[in-house]
Structure formats: structure tokens, C-alpha cells
Amino acid sequence: MNQEHQEQSPLVDIIIPTHNRAHLIEMAVRSALEQTWWNRLVTVVDDGSQDETKRVLAPYYERADFNYIRLSQNLGTAGAKNAGLLFTNGAAVTFPVSYTHLTLPTSDLV
């Protein structure tokens, strides 16, 4: 991809904080990864979950457009968002909630 196209398509960080939502998080991640904006990085910040969140997200670990961060203790939503911000490098950031699921394939979170 040429540099001009990259400059016209800035990186968007999608940070999804979650806590004990293993039953919903995959739907939120799929929704974020299926957005029409191609230049994005989805980061799930697991806020010390005690459920199967880590296992549910394992199939996404090898994707270049996905990060998983697990906090050792629950910091709350604001703390998890702040932790996610430490790993951002994009021109824009959005924080959809972990139960977000868009049913329209052309709808964008950003």
C-alpha cells in the first residue's frame, strides 16, 4: 500500500473493556472486526474476568488486527479503558461496550 493511501486511511483503535462477559464478548469482537473501515485495531481489555473470556477469544490471538490484554485485577471500566489507551497508536479511538453487536453489516462503530 502506498504512503498516500495510508495517510488518507488513519488507524482507528477500537478498545473494548470487558469483565465477566464471556457469553457476549465474541459477538462484540466480531462486530468490531467486521466494520467497513479496514485500518483498525481491536483491543479487548479483560478487566480481571473470572469466567471463560480468555478461552472464548483465543481464536483471535493470531490476528494482526486484534490484541488481548488481561488485567490481573478488576480496575473498573475507566481503569480498563485507560489501560487500553496505553497500547493505542491510532489517529482515533473508540470504546464500544462489550455487549455491542451491530446487526447491519454496513454500520460502523467509528
Mean pLDDT score of the chain: 87
Residue 97: pLDDT band with limits 50, 70, 90:
confident
| Band of residue 7 on the pLDDT scale cut at 50, 70, 90 | low
Classify the C-alpha dihedral 83-84-87-91 as positive or negative.
Answer: negative
**What's the pLDDT band for 110 if we cut at 50, 70, 90?**
very low
Q: Is the pLDDT of residue 106 over 60?
A: no
Task: Judge contact between 69 and 108, C-beta under 8 A.
Answer: no
For the segment 43-75, what is each residue's pLDDT rounded down to a tens digit?
A: 999 999 999 999 999 999 999 999 999 999 999
- Which run of H or of E encompasses 14? strand 12-18
- Whether 103 shows a pLDDT value over 70: the answer reads no
